[in-house]
Amino acid sequence: MKKKRGKGGAVEVRFPPILSGMKRGPAVIIPKDIGLVIAHTGLGKKSKVLEAGAGSGFATIILGNIAKSVVSYERNPQFFEIASKNVEKAGLTNVKLKNADILEGIKEKELDLILLDMPDSEKVVGAARESLVDGGFLAGFLPNIEQAKEFFLECNEAGFLETFMLEAIVREYDVREYGVRPKHVGLMHTAYLVFARK
């Protein structure tokens, strides 16, 4: 949970204790963003979740710590290995990782949440809708506005009942006897989050 100074003096992100000591390979979904996913989709202990783009497995672990079950697709063998070791270290038995490409199809059905953190997410929208329960959510973690727009429009085209897009901007503060103010450095934009409810 400690915060450290990164290269160039930039502040690194605070992670929850369950992620302490985990190996980090590719970029990860950080707490400010995964928190929005949890809050807006109503994720709970009875939820069945599918994720694609496990990466280092950070979001996988947070989701697995809450949900009934999580299946996570990761097509890159190196990332799959990192995520697998991190999930094992977290001690989660309700998480299954698959070294597979979700673009080749989704076998899992009756899902409450599908989270996509991968290139070409818009190509999965139709199959994702078919795998969700009524009222279930599809969420896309999209780094640039062009991707977010394409994903959003594809969700509308696929017939989701409600589609909305958010961005989380979080600032940490210096708190002292006099002169409380925002810190001079921090991580602001990370990605756009698009939510679509079936």
> What mean pLDDT is reported for the chain?
91
47: tokens are 């939820």
> What is the distance between the alpha carbons of residues 119 and 187, in angstroms, rounded to a whole number?
22
Are 29 and 52 in contact, with CB atoms under 8 Å apart? no
Question: pLDDT tens digit string along 22-38?
Answer: 888 888 898 899 999 99
> What is the distance between the alpha carbons of residues 141 and 148, in angstroms, rounded to a whole number?
8
Question: pLDDT tens digit string along 43-90?
Answer: 999 999 999 999 999 999 999 999 999 999 999 999 999 999 999 999
Taken in order of first residue, the domains within the chain and their CATH numbers are 22-197 (3.40.50.150)
Mean pLDDT, residues 10-29 taken together: 80
Question: pLDDT tens digit string along 36-52?
Answer: 999 999 999 999 999 99
Q: What is the DSSP letter of 17?
A: G
